[in-house]
Chains A and B, each alone.
Chain A
Amino acid sequence: MVLLKLNIIKQRPLWWSISGILAAIGAIAMAISLTTLGAPVAPSLDFVGGTRLQLELDCSIAGNCESPIELDTVREIMSDRGLDNRGIQVVGAAGRGLSIRTLDLDVDDRTQLLSDLEERIGQFDPQSTQIDTVGPTIGRELLASGLMALIFASAGIIIYLSVRFQLDYAICAIIALFHDVFITVGMFSIFGLTLGWEVDSLFIVALLTIIGFSVNDTVVIYDRIREILKLSTLDEANDSKPIGINEVVDTAVNQTLMRSINTTATTLLPLVGIFIFGGETLKYFALALIIGFILGAYSSIFIASSALAWWRERQESPVSATADSPIPDDRIIEAQLDRDE
């Protein structure tokens, strides 16, 4: 039941242009963001330091929740205290929630600000309050350790794939992986510029997960390419005509296509669930994963495979024996099965 047959190699210019355009849009967004915000994506206080207060009026007190919070009142209080009054939002359906993002406040400043706010607006419910304060140095450390994790994870994956497959497989997988990460970052750069969404330390987690998943998808296809190549060299020994790398890649992609689609779909289902129902913190995390996983599936099918074919085509033609790692040999399986049955 092959629903569709993709012709990856023939349509290579198309897939590469789509990715190229997406990457270029991302690069432009990052450049604009870099000049306006000083960073390729809008950084949250996790990375630059600061204080965020999320407050909610305590509605169990009579008369406390009569009217929604007035943004102007809050702005006024902030200005009176000499604080930047841009990062203020009234949240929640009835306008009873307040979110304030400002520079890193110490305990005295924060307490003073809170009592000023309570005096003008009403009692807040401490049980629904969220306070985040991150010092500027901690922020930099978080960012540095996050980037280190990204680099080490990529290096580890290259080494593992070089051992299990070959170096050129690893390089093409890494190209696909950077493609996914780069475009995801580009998308969030656009979100930062247009919607004001900021990325926090969970975004780095998301990028690392995307790396893991993208390689996952790519490995499954490479596994199949390796297997077909091995079988074709066996056939060659039996005087069959050799098949070109392009044909091998096309076959491998199409044979694993349903798996790629189904796996991506089943993984996306819970993520979409989190995106729609999950709390504020996990919403953007889930969205980053959704974008990254779709890109991961796309790049495995269209980029990683066609890049490998392109590389091999330039190296040698026609293909000779390539896979040197142990792979499941059909005849060994048959022998084992016979004993088992």
Chain B
Amino acid sequence: MRRQQSLLVLIIVLLVGAVTVLTLVPLRLGLDLQGGAQLTIQVESTDEIEDLTPEEVISGVLSVVRNRVDALGVSEPLVQTLSDDKILVQLPGVSDPEQAERVLGGTAQLEFREQQAGTDEQLQAELLARRELQLEFEVLKAGGDDAALAQKQESLETSNEAIAALFAPPLLTGKNLKFADARNSAAGSDNWSVSLEFDGEGGEKFAELTKNLAGTGRSLGIFLDGKLISSPVVSVEFAETGITGGQAVINGRFTIDEANDLAVQLRGGSLPVPVKIVENRTVGATLGQDSIRRSVLAAAGGLILVLGFMVAYYRLPGAIADISLIIYALFTLAAYAILQVTLTLPGIAGFILSIGMAVDANVLIFERTREELRAGKTLYRSVESGFYRAFSSILDSNVTTLIACLALFWLGAGLVKGFALTLAIGVGVSMFTAIACSRTLLFLALQVSQLKKPELFCPDLPGSSQS
């Protein structure tokens, strides 16, 4: 009995925890439910870059894509790599992805441009203005006011164009950049810099470019997709020849993160790999809300019918199973919230299905209990034996389902993964609630003498009237 009491305490603690989690942590909804655009971008190999497997390739492209996504002005975008050659972009709330598709497709444009004479003051002013806009933009991004965000995005765009206008047309582009890397200026110092390495042609052009700029105070503008990402000046000592040998270092008291960011952006911009949008799944916001409403309705309707059936057929144990099913639903949803599972439409289907599995465990136990009662065992022993004997069936059946989930999660993509994850979590939680919750509650009920009647467990038991 002591074991049951401690289990009951555990269940109550978990229940309070689950409810707290559900009130504090919102469930993450997939784009198919909240509305938005999901684009899969494929990186294509070219004659120059045939092998896409090195990590630098995809991380470079990823930084380019991030850059472009940032420029879209969408709140809470998600950019992540799917495989060696695919990148997933999620844009919540975007119902017309036309602009996104245009911006995200195409090869990155990395350009080295000379600042025009006499534009210093203007450049400083523009850069300052852009920094302010950028800060305001970040604030708005967290806020979720999409109209204001779009407006701010437009001002940023104008600002970027104004900055670009201060520079001469590009003499040198990213295709001549061989490599870029962050490095420590002096061993052990916190002062980082970015080193560049050009090919032969690039080295010559870079020498010419730096020769023109050295000592003038005019800067070398480095643009990625039309946006100024760095504007170093060239020191006077290079006025004679420019920076020769195809190698250069940008110093600027970078922190390690800043230096890395810049190097990755440069590398991404130097990759002559075209990217293509190979998959586009866009769901309008109201459409998403409609499907969530319908699915929740279907789930609730189905669940109520199941709860009713359990009481009607299994009587007292059925009622107890219903309580543990509700506990089950709360635990599972809390697990989704804690594990940050993104709930998609198939994910909801997985959840509903796992409810079915949870019911199955109870059905197995109660059928077994009835059999034992019919075989003439006492009530207490029948219940105990019902749980004990049904266990191997429950274990085997749940493990086989988990095997299927594993295969789906491992090999499936996107939506399929979501389904496998919610079902697997559900099956795991149901093992606990069916066995621990139902069991504890049922034995507690057996402590109450009014409930200790075999006919509450099995209605037409031969000779039940005597007991």
Contacts and interface: CB of A to CB of B under 8 A. Distances in A.
A149 B290 CA distance: 31
A26 B290 CA distance: 35
B98 A266 contact: no
Nearest to A215: B400
Given A146-B412, A270-B355, A208 B98 contact: no
B297 to A, nearest CB: 5
A328 B349 CA distance: 34
B282 interface: yes
A135 B85 CA distance: 14
Interface stretch (A32-40, A68-76, A276-284): A276-284
B41 to A, nearest CB: 11
Interface in A203-234: 204-205, 208-209, 211-213, 215-217, 219-220, 223-224, 227
Interface in A156-207: 156-157, 160-161, 164, 201-202, 204-205
A286 B350 CA distance: 11
Interface in B346-379: 346, 349, 352-353, 355-357, 359-360, 363-364, 367, 371
Contact of B412 (A149, A213, A224, A327): A149
Given A132-B280, A219-B393, A269 B309 contact: yes
A259 B359 CA distance: 11
Interface in A124-172: 125-135, 137-138, 141-142, 145-146, 148-150, 152-153, 156-157, 160-161, 164
B97 A274 contact: no
A273 interface: yes
Interface of B is mostly: helix
Contact of A145 (B276, B359, B401, B411): B411
Contacts of B305: 269-270, 273
B46 interface: no
Interface in B34-75: 35, 37, 40, 42
A322 interface: no
Contacts of B32: 281
B298 interface: yes
A258 B284 CA distance: 45
Given A126-B95, A137-B278, A266 B309 contact: yes
B284 A333 contact: no
B407 A149 contact: yes
Contact of A211 (B35, B286, B404, B410): B404
Interface in A242-268: 255-256, 258-259, 262-263, 265-267
Interface in A287-316: 289
A157 B396 CA distance: 10
B397 A216 contact: yes
A337 interface: yes
Contacts of B408: 149, 153, 205, 208
Contacts of B399: 160
A127 B284 contact: yes
Contacts of B131: none
B423 A209 contact: yes
B416 A337 contact: no
Contact of A202 (B294, B363, B415): B415
A12 to B, nearest CB: 24
A152 B360 contact: no
A138 B279 contact: yes
Contacts of B359: 263, 266-267
Please report whether the interface of chain A is mostly helix, strand, loop or mixed according to DSSP.
Answer: helix
Contacts of B283: 130
A160 B398 CA distance: 12
A48 interface: no
Contacts of B287: 54, 127-130
A271 interface: yes
A1 interface: yes
B298 A205 contact: no
A164 B302 CA distance: 34
B405 to A, nearest CB: 8
Given A146-B412, A152-B411, A267 B393 contact: no
A266 B322 CA distance: 13
A333 B385 contact: yes
A215 to B, nearest CB: 4
B392 A223 contact: yes
A285 B298 contact: no
B253 interface: no
Interface residues of A, number: 79
Contacts of A208: 404, 407-408
B393 A205 contact: no
A126 B40 contact: no
A79 interface: no
A132 B419 CA distance: 20
Nearest to B359: A266
B404 A153 contact: yes
Interface in A80-129: 107, 110-111, 125-129
A220 B391 CA distance: 10
B388 interface: yes
Interface in B291-314: 291, 294-295, 297-299, 301-303, 305-306, 309-310, 313
B388 to A, nearest CB: 6
A294 B412 CA distance: 25
Contacts of A276: 298
Contact of B393 (A1, A129, A130, A220): A220
A148 B413 CA distance: 12
A285 B415 CA distance: 13
The CB with the most chain A CB atoms within 10 A, among B35, B302, B389, is that of B302
A111 B388 CA distance: 63
Given A127-B35, A157-B400, A270-B303, A107 B284 contact: no
Interface of A: 1, 54, 107, 110-111, 125-135, 137-138, 141-142, 145-146, 148-150, 152-153, 156-157, 160-161, 164, 201-202, 204-205, 208-209, 211-213, 215-217, 219-220, 223-224, 227, 255-256, 258-259, 262-263, 265-267, 269-274, 276-279, 281-282, 285-286, 289, 327-328, 333, 337, 340-341
Given A110-B98, A149-B411, A333-B388, 10 more contacts: A127-B286, A131-B97, A135-B42, A153-B403, A153-B407, A217-B397, A220-B397, A263-B359, A271-B302, A276-B298
Q: Which 4 A-B pairs have the closest CB atoms?
A: A270-B302, A267-B356, A135-B278, A273-B302
24 contacts: A111-B98, A127-B286, A128-B284, A131-B37, A135-B278, A138-B42, A142-B413, A153-B404, A156-B403, A160-B403, A204-B412, A205-B346, A209-B404, A212-B405, A216-B401, A259-B363, A266-B306, A267-B356, A267-B359, A270-B299, A274-B295, A277-B298, A279-B291, A282-B291
